[in-house]
């Protein structure tokens, strides 16, 4: 088996210190490959990069009809938020409208990702709650599915629960293939995560961007979720994050979402293309370099959008004193 290509490298001074290999693929809604590199057939866990696909269960099970979810709520259902005030209050409101609270969330609690939010919580002497979990918006959406289906909410994270069966079904239909029991794990927020080839994840995003090969309800749901996420990019991630900055800059033309362990997925919506990439060693900063390089080449950025992407395609490496001592950068022409 051939090794995946080196897509990013870290220099210290004038010498390459680390090389980051990975695979990427860009396809249209028919599955035609626009560009690719590395092994795109090896199944990978997409982690949080496919939250918008998982949120299609909201539409499949008519939860949006029962609760009339706002754009903000749909954006949070797609989010890996940073636990900033807008995120925490938004999820609390989301749950409250359904007659639920943080006590109904089964994602667990962790400190906010955002440093200022962490400091504020510590200053108040308060422990984090499940509302601060970066997946609490997704879990709120899943709870809405449970209520719409009329099934018990406790245990909604379990693989055999009706909610997770609905989520699995939604993902399978959009990527066009079955998710195998022998490639299943548990994500950080306790729900199942299923491995599939990068090609399948990219195809799913192309189909969501265009509505091609989806039924009418799924196509409408995909458009609503992409519109919500790209209209409220701060809710999807947070201050300074690549996902937020890219979607804000592209003003609806790009849906971008990262996942743990170096996964990046999304859609170049105006072209109807979906993409997926995985940094082999799971380095998130290197995966940001890779996806920024991909979007620079294929998303037709204007000057302002290019400036945002260039922040990530070449990232300074600083020492403890704050001096630049190297850089993390894309390998020229690798993508």
Cα–Cα distance, 335 to 331 (Å, whole number): 8
User: pLDDT (tens digit, 9 = 90+) per residue, 180-235?
Assistant: 999 999 999 999 999 999 999 999 999 999 999 999 999 999 999 999 999 999 99
Locate the domains of the chain by residue range.
6-330
- Report the phi/psi class of residue 240: left, alpha or beta, with left for phi > 0 and alpha for psi in -120 to 50: left
**Residues 112-120: contacts with CB under 8 Å, at least 24 apart:** 112/82, 112/83, 112/84, 113/81, 113/82, 113/83, 113/238, 114/82, 114/83, 114/84, 114/238, 114/239, 116/84, 116/239, 117/82, 117/83, 117/84, 117/85, 118/83
CATH 3.40.720 describes domain 6-330: no
Per-residue pLDDT of the chain (335 residues; tens, 9 = 90+): 689 999 999 999 999 999 999 999 999 999 999 999 999 999 999 999 999 999 999 999 999 999 999 999 999 999 999 999 999 999 999 999 999 999 999 999 999 999 999 999 999 999 999 999 999 999 999 999 999 999 999 999 999 999 999 999 999 999 999 999 999 999 999 999 999 999 999 999 999 999 999 999 999 999 999 999 999 999 999 999 999 999 999 999 999 999 999 999 999 999 999 999 999 999 999 999 999 999 999 999 999 999 999 999 999 999 999 999 999 999 988 99
Residue 2: its pLDDT value, please? Answer: 85
Integer Cα distance of 25 and 239 in angstroms: 28
Q: What single-letter DSSP state applies at residue 3?
A: P
Q: In Å, how far from its chain's centre is CA 126?
A: 28
pLDDT of residue 206: 98
Q: What is the pLDDT of residue 333?
A: 86
Q: How far apart are CA 316 and CA 118, in angstroms?
A: 25
240: CB partners within 8 A, 6+ apart:
none
* Separation between Cα atoms, residue 146 and residue 133, nearest integer Å: 20
**According to the model, what pLDDT value does residue 332 have?**
83
């Amino acid at each position: 088996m051939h090794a995946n290509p080196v897509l990013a490298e870290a220099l210290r001074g004038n010498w390459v210190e680390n090389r980051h290999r990975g695979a990427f693929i860009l396809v249209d809604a028919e599955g035609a490959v626009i560009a690719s590199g590395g092994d795109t057939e090896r199944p990978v866990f997409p982690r949080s990069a496919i939250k918008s696909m998982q949120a299609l269960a909201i539409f499949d099970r008519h939860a949006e009809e029962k609760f009339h979810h706002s754009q903000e709520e749909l954006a949070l259902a797609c989010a890996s938020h940073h636990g900033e005030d807008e995120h925490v209050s938004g999820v609390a409101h989301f749950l409250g409208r359904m007659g639920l609270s943080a006590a109904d969330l089964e994602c667990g609690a962790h400190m906010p990702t955002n440093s200022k939010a962490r400091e504020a919580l510590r200053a108040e002497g308060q422990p984090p709650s499940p509302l601060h979990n970066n997946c609490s918006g997704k879990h709120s959406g899943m709870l809405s599915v449970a209520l719409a289906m009329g099934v018990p909410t406790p245990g909604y994270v379990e693989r055999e629960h009706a909610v997770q069966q609905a989520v699995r079904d939604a993902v399978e239909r959009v990527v066009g293939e079955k998710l195998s029991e022998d490639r299943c794990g548990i994500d950080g927020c306790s729900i199942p995560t299923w491995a599939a080839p990068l090609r399948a994840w990219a195809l799913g995003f192309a189909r969501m961007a265009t509505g091609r090969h989806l039924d009418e309800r799924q196509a409408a749901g995909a458009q609503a979720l992409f519109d919500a996420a790209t209209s409220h990019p701060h809710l999807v991630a947070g201050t300074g994050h690549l996902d937020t900055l890219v979607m804000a800059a592209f003003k609806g033309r790009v849906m971008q979402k990262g996942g743990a362990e170096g996964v990046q997925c999304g859609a170049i919506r105006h072209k109807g293309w979906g993409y997926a990439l995985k940094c082999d060693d799971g380095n998130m900063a290197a995966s940001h370099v890779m996806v920024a390089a991909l979007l620079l080449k294929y998303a037709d950025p204007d000057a302002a959008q290019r400036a945002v992407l260039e922040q990530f395609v070449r990232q300074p490496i600083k020492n403890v004193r704050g001096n630049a001592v190297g850089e993390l950068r894309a390998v020229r022409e690798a993508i």
